[in-house]
Each structure stands twice: as structure tokens, then as C-alpha cells.
């Protein structure tokens, strides 16, 4: 299987699991919230986080199919965070993945609730008694615990809060690193941790390798994203790098310059690839690290 084929297979599996997780006998009675939740959860997206979870499960000797409730949960947490981020009181975005944002389609009240609902469904899905057919209660607790901590005030929500706190001022490089690690890194790392745990190989050394891979990959991806933002602008608007009117938000290129950023992306990608050598069957994960920072992703 090529990288793209496997990524595609993981995305399809995750989407089926999301469909199943969002089914409810109450859908006919109050349809709007279910529609809104589906709209965002099934509205495209690369399914990077669940794919990492499923692949780490596989390379740790587990069966990715069994880990699907957790992959869907991870993606629901990611999706809820996007819905709430896009709200008028937050980033006030009209478009997400090329489609109108949730609140643009369903209104703000339903969008807040749909976010809450997806967040909640993540835990319902992981804590469903049916999951105990495939995993011990200890394993379920450990995997769900990784997600809970990664998504919270000392993880993703913390990153959002730090972002709000630092609005309008230029923060130093180390704080920008911390912000990105919290805001996007934690959830990517949770995918790796959950995958190893569900795959049945979660000794300290294995977890450390998986975490280092996820951390480096997440940061590389974020810096590349920042680079694409400004270098994309040159093509689109003919603006030179760094001429953005909105300089209030610190980005890696604005702090370090584009050249240093390109080098950093390479270093971090190489570090991710080195880390993942710990796993015997690491070809997909290594290829993925390169692919994520290629302009084709």
C-alpha cells in the first residue's frame, strides 16, 4: 500500500466510525444539532490525527479496526475545537475547509452546542461498554485519559487561552513554540500515545519515541503552514514576504525569517524520522513526516 492509499483507507475508516458515533434515536425529535454535528465532523479534512492513532496502533501490533472508536473520538475533539475557534467571538471565520463555517450555516447557538456535542460524544464513544469487548478497562482508561489531558487547560484549550492572552503583542520564540505545542501539538501527540496504548505496546521507551515523533512532526507541520501562508501570498497577491498588514500575531516566519524556518522544518522532520526508527515497521510514519511538509499535502 502506498502512503496515499493507506492515508485514504484510514480516513475512510475514521469517517465510517464518525457516522456510527453520531447516530441517535433522538435525531428525528431535534434534528438541527445532529445535522450541525455531522456537517463539521463529516465535512472533509485530512484525518491526520486519527490516521496517526491507527498507524501507531498497527506498528505496535494492534488491530486498527478495533481502535476506531478512539480514532473517531480524537477527530471529534479536533472538530469541536475548530467549530468553537471559528465562532464570531473567537476567530470569526466564515470559511473552513472551503465551506461556510458551522455558525454561518446553523447559527451561533447551534454551533456552540454542536461543538459541545462533538466534544461530549468523543467521551461517550470511548467509554461505551461495547469497547470493553476489544480492550481491557485499564487500556480504555489510559487511552481516554491521554485524550482528556491533551485537550484540556494544560493542553489544547490552554494553547487557545495563551493565544487569546497574547493577542496584539509579539511574543518571543519560545512562547510561540509553547503555544503551538499546546494548541495543535498536544492532540497530535495524543494520537500517537493512544495508538501505542491500544496497540498493546506502551512501554516508556516506545511512548517516548512516539511522542518525540509526534512533537517534531506537529511543530514542523505548523511552521510549514506559516510559511505557506506568507509564501502563498506572494503568488496570490504579489506581496513580498512579511509585508502583511496584520503583524499583530506572531508567526514563525515573522520571528525567525523564512530561511531559518525552512531549515527548522527540515531539522524537525529529520528528527521525527529518526525517532520513529524505534518501530520495526516505520516506513509509513517516516514517509508521512516527509509528506506532511511537502507542498502537496
**Residue 30 CB, nearest distance to its own copies (Å)?**
4
Q: How far apart are CA 84 and CA 103, in angstroms?
A: 9
List the x/- string, 130-169, binding to its own copies by CB under 8 A: --x---xxx-xxx-xx--xx-xxxx--xx-xxx-xx----
Identified binder of its own copies from the candidate list 4, 20, 109, 263, rule CB under 8 A: 109
Closer of 117 and 219 to its own copies (Cβ): 117
Identified binder of its own copies from the candidate list 5, 98, 129, 133, rule CB under 8 A: 129
**Residue 208 CB, nearest distance to its own copies (Å)?**
18
**184 belongs to the binding site for its own copies (CB under 8 A):** no
Closer of 136 and 243 to its own copies (Cβ): 136
Identified binder of its own copies from the candidate list 6, 49, 84, 189, rule CB under 8 A: 84
Closer of 142 and 262 to its own copies (Cβ): 142
The number of residues that bind its own copies (CB under 8 A) is 54
**Residue 78 CB, nearest distance to its own copies (Å)?**
13
Closer of 10 and 146 to its own copies (Cβ): 146
Q: How far apart are CA 258 and CA 41, in angstroms?
A: 34
**294 belongs to the binding site for its own copies (CB under 8 A):** no
> CB 93: neighbour CB atoms within 10 A?
15
**Residue 192, CA distances (Å) to 80, 181, 188, 211 in order:** 20, 14, 7, 6
Residues that bind its own copies (CB under 8 A): 24-26, 29-34, 37, 84, 87, 89-90, 107-110, 112-113, 115-117, 119-121, 123-124, 127-129, 132, 136-138, 140-142, 144-145, 148-149, 151-154, 157-158, 160-162, 164-165, 178
Amino acid at each position: 500500500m502506498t502512503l496515499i492509499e493507506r492515508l485514504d483507507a484510514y480516513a475512510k475508516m475514521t469517517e465510517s466510525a464518525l457516522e456510527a458515533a453520531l447516530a441517535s434515536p433522538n435525531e428525528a425529535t431535534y434534528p438541527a444539532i445532529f445535522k450541525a454535528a455531522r456537517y463539521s465532523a463529516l465535512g472533509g479534512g485530512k484525518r491526520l490525527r486519527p490516521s496517526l492513532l491507527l498507524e501507531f496502533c498497527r506498528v505496535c501490533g494492534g488491530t486498527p479496526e478495533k481502535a476506531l472508536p478512539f480514532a473517531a473520538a480524537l477527530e471529534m475533539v479536533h472538530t469541536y475545537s475548530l467549530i468553537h475557534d471559528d465562532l464570531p467571538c473567537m476567530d470569526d471565520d466564515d470559511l473552513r475547509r472551503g465551506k461556510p463555517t458551522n455558525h454561518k450555516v446553523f447559527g451561533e447557538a447551534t454551533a456552540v452546542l454542536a461543538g459541545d456535542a462533538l466534544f461530549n460524544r468523543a467521551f461517550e464513544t470511548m467509554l461505551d461498554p461495547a469497547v470493553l469487548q476489544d480492550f481491557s478497562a485499564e487500556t480504555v482508561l489510559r487511552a481516554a485519559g491521554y485524550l482528556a489531558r491533551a485537550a484540556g487547560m494544560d493542553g489544547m484549550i490552554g494553547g487557545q487561552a495563551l493565544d487569546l492572552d497574547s493577542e496584539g503583542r509579539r511574543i518571543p520564540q519560545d512562547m510561540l513554540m509553547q503555544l503551538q505545542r499546546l494548541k495543535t501539538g498536544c492532540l497530535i501527540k495524543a494520537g500517537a500515545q493512544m495508538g501505542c496504548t491500544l496497540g498493546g505496546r506502551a512501554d516508556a521507551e516506545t511512548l517516548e519515541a512516539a511522542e518525540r515523533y509526534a512533537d517534531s512532526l506537529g511543530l514542523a507541520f505548523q511552521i510549514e503552514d506559516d510559511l505557506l501562508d506568507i509564501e502563498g501570498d506572494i503568488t496570490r497577491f504579489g506581496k513580498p514576504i512579511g509585508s502583511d498588514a496584520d503583524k499583530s500575531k506572531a508567526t514563525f516566519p515573522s520571528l525567525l525569517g523564512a530561511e531559518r524556518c525552512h531549515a527548522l522544518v527540515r531539522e524537525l522532520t529529520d528528527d521525527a524520522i529518526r525517532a520513529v526508527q524505534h518501530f520495526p515497521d516505520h516506513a509509513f510514519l517516516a514517509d508521512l513526516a516527509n509528506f506532511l511538509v511537502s507542498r502537496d499535502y
